[in-house]
Amino acid sequence: DAEITQSPRHKITETGRQVTLACHQTWNHNNMFWYRQDLGHGLRLIHYSYGVHDTNKGEVSDGYSVSRSNTEDLPLTLESAASSQTSVYFCASSLSLTDTQYFGPGTRLTVL
């Protein structure tokens, strides 16, 4: 079955380290998204992509970057991890601009 996966599911890192979270979908969806979930804020959009080589900043993009080299993957990189980036990260994808977004299982990241 087609699906969307995230890895790792849990990660602990130290302040200042570079961290990359993986997102992979097998639905051949054009659109991919990264959100972070924090208590009291719901989910907030970090970056998104409408296709290969397309990336856009979301609401809370500072300190994060993404690249889209193929349809299936949108890795999220924290260039220099900060304690404020401790959160649960969700990847999502959708086929078209009017399609429902489907979410991965999430990655819990702790920055010490």
Q: 84 or 96, CB closer to another protein?
A: 96
Interatomic CA distance for residues 7 and 107, integer angstroms: 7
Q: 3 or 79, CB closer to another protein?
A: 3
Identify which of 96, 93, 101, 106 has the alpha carbon closest to the alpha carbon of residue 32.
93
Residues interacting with another protein, by CB under 8 A? 31, 33, 35, 40-45, 48, 50, 58, 88, 90, 92, 94, 96-103, 105-106
Identify which of 91, 93, 103, 106 has the alpha carbon closest to the alpha carbon of residue 11.
106
Interatomic CA distance for residues 94 and 30, integer angstroms: 7
Shortest Cβ 84–another protein spacing (Å): 18
Shortest Cβ 23–another protein spacing (Å): 13
Q: 30 or 77, CB closer to another protein?
A: 30
